[in-house]
Structure 1
Amino acid sequence: MIGVEIMISFMIVPFYAQIWLFDSTTKNIPEMGEELGRVVANENVVMIFTQPDTDGDVEVSIGSVGDDTSGTLIYQGEMSFLSGVARVGSIAAGDLYDIKLTQNIGVHVEIYASPLELPNKIDIFFSSRDLIESIEKVLL
């Protein structure tokens, strides 16, 4: 378990050029349209398009709104994590981290990407540092 005092980072294998942020128990997956942007999202899931896994791992940082970032804002919204756990990583690679939250509904989330085209760094910011109770690597 990783306590969150400052922004932390880890490397994720982005199979299918995707990193996901989602409620750990959701079955509510957003539908992809013909026009793909930088994210596909609904109230429980954000799928972020990244560089391909053949280009290497993607650095994912977790922090709170107001932390420094060199990225460009690609998503901002209110999310619900009904399980109380936000999961981030690559579902296909089984490379996932659980973020235990102290609030589960109406969680303000901002996501930044760098570089904007085929990002290799993703910053995920929650509304406040007090919202993040712990971060753990998921063991499958």
Structure 2
Amino acid sequence: MTEPMLEGTGCALHEPFALQVLGPDMEPEFPDRCIVIVEPTEYCRSGMYVFAEVEGVRWFRQFHRDGQGREWLMALNPDFPQIELTGLEWKVLGIVIQRNIRRQIKHYDYDDAGALASATPLPGNAVDITGRA
């Protein structure tokens, strides 16, 4: 039996959901108390803003993969540390598709991000960075 990405059951787990950003970690793009809309998916590519779980702790960060294949979760605010994912237990819970700051809405497209939800699952912690998912 597979474990659901988030607690609960039913089709609602596959629908976008809203979260409020708490703290300055992702400023200036995502200021404290702004609202983000997250599209549930297990996939991401370098440069995407993701909601991820690392060693049981959930993070909102930007995913990066360097030239040597190392993977990172990066805060946009340089005052906060990077999280190197190499050797850690982690999974993507969703990608940010929209931001709302005092009714000013910005959408994040990621060039074919919608295709990610219908793609064949990659094994383990594999991450598609080819743009073909």
Pair member with larger Rg: 2
Q: TM-score, normalised by structure 2?
A: 0.29
Q: TM-score, normalised by structure 1?
A: 0.29
Higher strand share: 1
Q: Relative contact order (alpha carbons < 8 A, sep ≥ 6): 1 or 2 greater?
A: 1
